[in-house]
Each structure stands twice: as C-alpha cells, then as structure tokens.
Structure 1
Amino acid sequence: MVEEGSGAFGRSWHELPRELADHMRSHLDEVADDMLNQIRSRISEYDRPADGAYSGTARQAVERVLHYFVDRVADPGHDSAPVTDFFRAIGRGEAAEGRSLDAMQSAMRIGGMVAWRRLTEGAAVLEVSPRTLGTVGEVLMQFQDELAAAAAEGFSQAKAAAAGEMQRRRKRLLDLLFADPPVGPEAIADLAAAAHWPVPRTVAAVALGRPAGEARAPAFPPDILADLTRRTPSLIIPDPDGPGRAGVVDRTLNGCLAVIGPTVPVAEAARSIQWARKTLGLVERGVIGASTGVIRSVEHMSTLILFQDEELITSLAELRLAPLAHLRPGQQDRLAETLLAWLQSGRNANEVAMRLHVHPQTVRYRLRQLEELFGDQLLDPDLRFDLEIVLRARALLTEHDEDGARPAARAAAGGSGGTGDVVGLGR
C-alpha cells in the first residue's frame, strides 16, 4: 500500500474536500450500476446472469470499492484493511479457479474510468478547483494501484500454496512408486490423478549423485517426478524408451551425475531405482568409471552381477586365488593380470602379450609360473570360470583404485594379509 504523502503522485487524501464525500454518497448505487454495465459489455468473462454467483461477487467488489473510496474521502485515516483483504481474497479465488488476473485488472481500469467521469461531472456541479480535481484523479489511481497490488499478492500466495501442495503430492507419489513391496495400482492411480501425473505404460528410475559445491539443480520437464531432498535424489521418467525421450533425458541431466535404472512397468519402479542406486554406488566407489553424465544401468549389468554379493565373491576369491596368497604384492598383481588376460584371450600367449603390452617371452614365463601354482585347476572349465569371475572383480577394483596401493584388489587375489584382507574386497 502507498503511504500517505509518499506516493508517486505526491498528493494525498488529506487534500480532498470533505464535502465531496457527501455529494458522492448519494450517487453510489447508480455509479455501481454504471460500472457493472460497462464491465459486462466490454469484458466477456463478466457477461454472466445478474443473479449468478460470479456476478454477485463482481457487484460486491464494486460496492465495497465505492463505499470505501467515499469513506476515505470523508476520513483520510479510514482503515483500508477490509477492502484490501477482500481483494487479496479475490486474487486467491482467481488462482484457485485457474484464471489469470487479466479480466479483473481490465474491470478495475473500466471501473476507474467510469468513476473518473462521474467525479468530474460532480466536480463541475460543486465548482471544484482544477488543483482539487487533479488530486481526485491522483488518489483514484493510487487507490487502484493499492487494490491491484492486494489482488496480485493474494494470487501469488494461492499459486505458491498450490505449487507446494502439488509438489507434496508428487513426492508422495514417488514414495508409493518406490515402495517395496509395491502398493496396489488403484492407490497409484488415485494419487497420480491428484498430482496431475498421467500414469504411463513404463518408467525408469534415476538416482542422482549429490551436486558439488553450489551447483544448481536442473529444471525437469513437468512429466518427470522428482524429489531432490532424498538421501539419494531420485526421479521417475515416464515412457523412457519413447521417440526422442533419450535425447530429452540426456539434455535435462547434462552436467549431473545421473544413473538411469532399467525400463520397467510402473508397478516395478522399485526394482528400477534399486538397480540405479546400486550402479550409482559403484560409480561413487570408482568401480564404474564416471564423474558426470548419464549412466545407464543396463550397460553395466555384468558389473552389477559381480558386485551383487561382495561377501560371496570375496569368499570365492579367497578359495580360487589361494595359490597367489604367499607371493609379494607386486607378483600377485602381475600374475593375476596375466591370468585374466589369458582366460579372456582364449589362452593364446601372443594375444596376452599384445593385451598387456609385454614381450611374448615374458608372458610365457608368467604362464609357467601360473601352471606351477594352479596345476590342473587351469584345465577345469568350471574352475576357469570361477577364476575369471574373481579376477574381473579384482581388475575393476584395481583399475579404479585412487591411491595406487590396491589393498582391496590384493585381497581379492587372496593376498598375504590372510582372510581378514580377503573380506576387504568390497571396500
């Protein structure tokens, strides 16, 4: 509200003659009718039956404005709270009905023009001076600004409240979709309708890494459910395999560390987020190499399988790589690397040499050592399969170990630290 004497126009209600109020009071009903007729004829939204609720609210607003204006001319200190509160309520109502303030603001301008015309006619009868007439015009515009500001404030409050409630519903919907065991489809459909989220055929869940520093959260399209307040910020993407959807998702998540789980039916969203979180955990540990960008769990399924039960694979490593346990760490690393390359290359020494960038004779020397250590185990297909599993897990940990010491990798090799070190595979 503009304070007395400090408005943009520099004049105040105190400068108006009190007798002007008495003259206006006797004409309020006809002025109200004139305003309403002009508003209805020029604004289609207000062209409603005179006995309808909308028209009743319009008449009530016009009459309140006119009576308050006259009362304030008679008493410049008259309390403006009732009329401004009324217009805040109108603003909230327009927001609740999904309308903008355009029609109301147009109605206020038309009403102001009618009021100004009637005031100038009355001023001529009362022989009001030009200066006083100018003051009347200024306070009338000031008054319109006050009411428009009150309506805009109510409108903004209602919009903010509605947005907050909608966000709460969408977060609750995300909770239901991620529930394990899953909730019934009826509960999902009901809350989805309340959250204005069309239930898709399929979804993919996304687990986001925490942004570094002051990085701003991305803006998501309205059909993506998002909750960035979770311990692991999470999303639901509807119909992720639809035409053009992959590009939209990649652009939306550009600059984030985001893991997209597998595409699943809506009822299985919990499974998608579980795989996305597991993949994110391996990314954050360095097992899967990435620091930013979009990562898809389905491209790393073999790694996820390897690390699904780390205690189990550690126990298998202790058993199958026991022949290396007595060697120095450097020897363990070289022989484990050679053995994995040999298993992956169809047991071809020359191909192993190319993979490892060493001389074939060096490879043959290491292979003789491995034959001495493992003996007939290297002839058994089942044991070779077990060896490849544990060596792949060891290689992933070794490749992405940051400090170079590779303690977990050596543990996977059945290193010299004994059983306690072997259990350290998953660290």
Structure 2
Amino acid sequence: MVRHGAVLAEEPFHRFSADLAEHLRPLTEDIRREVVNAILAGIPEYARPTNAAYTTTITTGVELGLNLLLDRLTAPGIGAREVFDIYHAIGRGEAREGRTLDSFQGALRIAARITWRTISTLADSDTLPRQELALLGEAALVHLDEIAAATSAGFAEAQAHLADEPRRRRLRLLDMLTDEQPPTAQAIATLAPAARWPVPSRIAVAVLDGHWEREESRPILPPDLLADFDRKPVRVVVPDPEGPGRARAIEAALRGHRAALGPTVPLTEGARSLRWALDALGLARRSVLPSRGLVRCSDHLTTLLLFQDEDLVDALGTRHLDPLERMPRPYRDRLAETLLSWLRCSRNASEVAVRLGIHPQTVRYRLRRLDDLFGDRLQDPDVCFEMELALRLRQMRPRQAG
C-alpha cells in the first residue's frame, strides 16, 4: 500500500538509457488521445459527451499518468508525492460520484494495453532494444500498480468519511440537544438536515445501561432516534415521544435493558429531560425504581422529588421521627408502616387495616402507641406532611440500604 508522502519505488526506473524519454515523448500525444477515446467508448460510467469538463478531467488524468512515467524514467523519484496526491484525489472523487472502482480499474487496463502496444512499435523499428523493452514493461506495471494503490486508498478514505459523516453529525446534534447551554432553534435547523433528522417540536431523552462495543449487539432503534452508544450510560434522543405508536416502539426497542426515559420537553430543553432520566436510572440501579425494562420519569415524579436530596429528607426524619428510633427494629418498622398508612389514608383506621391486611384492633392498638410517642405533633398538619415525606423515603429505599 502506498502511503501519503512516501517516495514511490525507484526500481526499475533507474536502469534505462538517458535518451529513452526522447524516443517516447513524441508518442505521448497519440497515446493520450487513443486512451481517452477508448475509455469514453468502452467505460459507460465515463461516457458523458455533454459534459466537456468531465472529458477534460479524464484527459488530464491520462496525460498526467504518462508524463509522470516518463519523468520517472529520466529522473527516478520525481513526481512520487504528486502521483499519490493526484490519484488519491481521483479515488476520493470516484467515491463521491457514487461509483465503484471497477470503472477506474477498467480504464487503467485500457491505458496499459494501448500504451504497451504503442511502445512496442519502438522495438519493432529497432529504436528500442528488446532488453530495454522488457524493463520498460516492468516499470510501466509498477507505475500502474502505484496509481491503482493511490486511487484505492483515496476511494476507501472517502467512503469511510461519507459513511461516517451522517453519524458524526447526528452525534453532534445529540450533544447539542442535551447540552446544558440550550441551543438556538436556528442552530438545530441548520444541523438537522445534514444529520438527516426531521426536526420535531418536542423531545425526550432516554438513558440505558449496557456495553455494546459491537454494533450488531445493540438494540434496534427507530431510525429517527439519535443514539450515542459510545457514552456510558447510552444516550438516546426521542423525537415526538408522545406521538402515535411511539410509546410501544420505544418499549419494544429497549425491552430487557435497564433504561429510563426523561420527561417530554420543548426542543431546546433536552438537558432537563436528560437530568431526570439520569436520576431515574440511578434509582433503578439501586432498585428503588424497577431495575429492568424502561422506567418513565412521568410515572415516578414523587419518587424523583424525594430522592433529589436524600439528606434533606433524612433531616426531616431526624427532626420528627426520633421517638421511633428508640424502639426495637421490628416493632419500629411496624409502627412506621402503620403511621405512613394512617397519614396516606386520611387518618382512617379501617382503611389502614385494609391496606396493611391486619385486624382493625391491631391498627387501633398501634395508633394508641403512636399517640403516646408523638402526642400533639400528630395534630399538626405541617409536621404530619414532613413526617410523611420522611417515611415515604425510608419505605422506598431497598432494605439492604438500612
């Protein structure tokens, strides 16, 4: 493989007589004309009679190849960088035109055949010794191989770039939509067409755990979702998340994975949806929220609120629930469960019994015990509200967390 900036092979260019180029150069015009005509006639991809600029490009390419060959015969090493750069650029152009390299390789074979046939006439006329003709054939083959290698390198580079460009622009758009610095609508409208992304009015951001280094193992997402699988956790921007059928499509795509979907927000507020989704995913990892499948933030707003600052809610517990802390653990847990149910059931003992599945008399006994512990504080609505917050947080924490 020829590399950019490398000096092309000098062998077998240094073994020719000094006057060889003088015999060959007068033939180049006839060779160029015949090669160009044969290419235009024999390669359908290059047959563009109405495009004079395109024909000029082909003519220039053929002429350049011939002249570089002659230059290298008289001064080995001359044109090494130039031959790579020119044909590397031609290879990129072939890729951008949407063609394969089959047409170009066919054109090279035509050029080699016609050039060799014409040069052979020199040997037939005794202008060129047979031994030197064999060396010239070797040099021409090396020259053509290097042209082919440079073209292939340019073609492969352009293909990789063209294939990756929409992906890179989609990642840039995803970053823009989830950045803490809100993007302007104009910035989104400018980048979205290049990323092949229809601009919605509202979005939501999902995050999911997993390791998907291999693309074939990744979840299959609808094509209008923007996803960055290189981030941990993975980020996904969902356009119009409340549109028809969207909920089922997202659920199906992320089934079996631990994931969280942030709230639906205006197009420029993706950072807020991302923050909530990250919070929900963190709670799913702790088993506070379901640890498998898709967790929707909109279904767990109270939980997300309580866990925004656990220390602050714990401080409420320390302030109001201290009498419970002095009780033995099993008894304390039962009293805490009863108190929370009583607060949630609007202080209806019968509803508490149904909710907890215990005898109403047991509920009344526990309520008397709570009244002994807390007294008038259970009549203060503000205190009861703060008690309920602290008790809810404790109840939602996994048992192993203490």
Q: How high is the TM-score relative to the length of structure 1?
A: 0.71
How far, CA to CA, are the matches of 1:314 and 1:150 in structure 2?
Answer: 68
Q: Paired residue for 2:275? A: 274
C-alpha distance in 2 between matches for 1:270 and 1:389: 27
CA drift at 1:58: 1.6
Measured after TM superposition, the shift of residue 228 of structure 1 is 5.8
Note the C-alpha offset of 1:40.
Answer: 1.7
**Cα deviation code 1:206-265 (max 9, x no counterpart):** 2344x57x9657488664434567686533233445566556656765775432212333
The SS at the match of 1:188 is helix
Percent identity reads 42
Of 157-166 and 85-94, deviating more is 157-166
Look up the match of 1:186.
186
Per the alignment, residue 81 of structure 1 pairs with 81
Aligned to 1:55: 55
Could you tell me which residue of structure 2 aligns to residue 265 of structure 1? 266
Find the counterpart in structure 2 of residue 335 from structure 1.
335
TM-score, structure 2 normalization? 0.74
Deviations for 1:8-61, whole angstroms, at most 9, x for unmatched residues? xxx956788887755443221111111111222233443335884332222111
State how many pairs are aligned.
Answer: 389
Secondary structure of 2:64's counterpart equals helix
**Cα displacement string for residues 303-337 of structure 1 (whole angstroms, at most 9, x for unaligned residues):** 11333454553344345434424324443223213
Q: Is there any run of 5+ residues in structure 2 with no aligned partner, and where? A: 4-10
Counterpart-to-counterpart distance in 2, 1:69 and 1:300: 74
Contact 1:342-1:352 within 8 A present in 2 as well: no
Cα gap change, 1:147/1:377 in structure 2, threshold over 3 Å: closer, same or farther? same
Match of 2:107 in 1: 107
Partner of residue 34, structure 1: 34
**SS of 1:205 mapped into structure 2:** strand
Unpaired runs of 5+ in structure 1? 4-10, 407-427
**Alpha-carbon deviations, 1:263-286, whole Å to 9, x = none?**
333233233212212212323444
Q: Which amino acid aligns with 1:42?
A: G
Aligned partner letter, 1:105:
Q
Change (3 A) 1:35 1:220: farther
1:236 matched residue in structure 2: 237
Asked if the contact 2:255–2:294 (Cα under 8 Å) also holds between the matched residues in 1, the reply is yes
Contact 1:353 1:360 in 2 (8 A): no
Matched position secondary structure for 1:182: coil
The RMSD of aligned alpha carbons is 4.4
Q: Relative to structure 1, is the Cα distance of residues 251 and 120 closer, same or farther in structure 2, using a 3 angstrom cutoff?
A: farther
CA–CA distance in structure 1, aligned partners of residues 213 and 47 of structure 2: 50
Q: 1:39–1:107: 8 Å Cα contact kept in structure 2?
A: yes
- Deviations along 1:59-109, one digit per CA (max 9) or x if unpaired, are 111011112233445566655332122111222344556665454334323
- In structure 1, what is the equivalent of residue 6 of structure 2? none
**Conserved? CA contact 2:92–2:157, under 8 Å:** yes
- Residues 1:353 and 1:285: Cα distance change in structure 2 (over 3 Å): closer
Letter in 2 for 1:281: G
Q: Are the aligned partners of 2:88 and 2:154 in contact in 1 as well (CA < 8 Å)?
A: yes
Q: Per the alignment, in what secondary structure is the counterpart of residue 302 of structure 2?
A: helix
State the Cα distance separating 1:389 from its structure 2 match. Answer: 3.6
- Deviation for aligned residue 1:395: 0.8
Where 1:148 maps in the other structure, the secondary structure is helix
Q: Quote the Cα distance in structure 1 between the aligned partners of 2:64 and 2:109.
A: 16
- The range that moved more, 253-262 or 273-282, is 253-262
Question: Is contact 1:207–1:258 with CA below 8 Å preserved after alignment?
Answer: yes
Q: Secondary structure of 2:397's partner?
A: helix
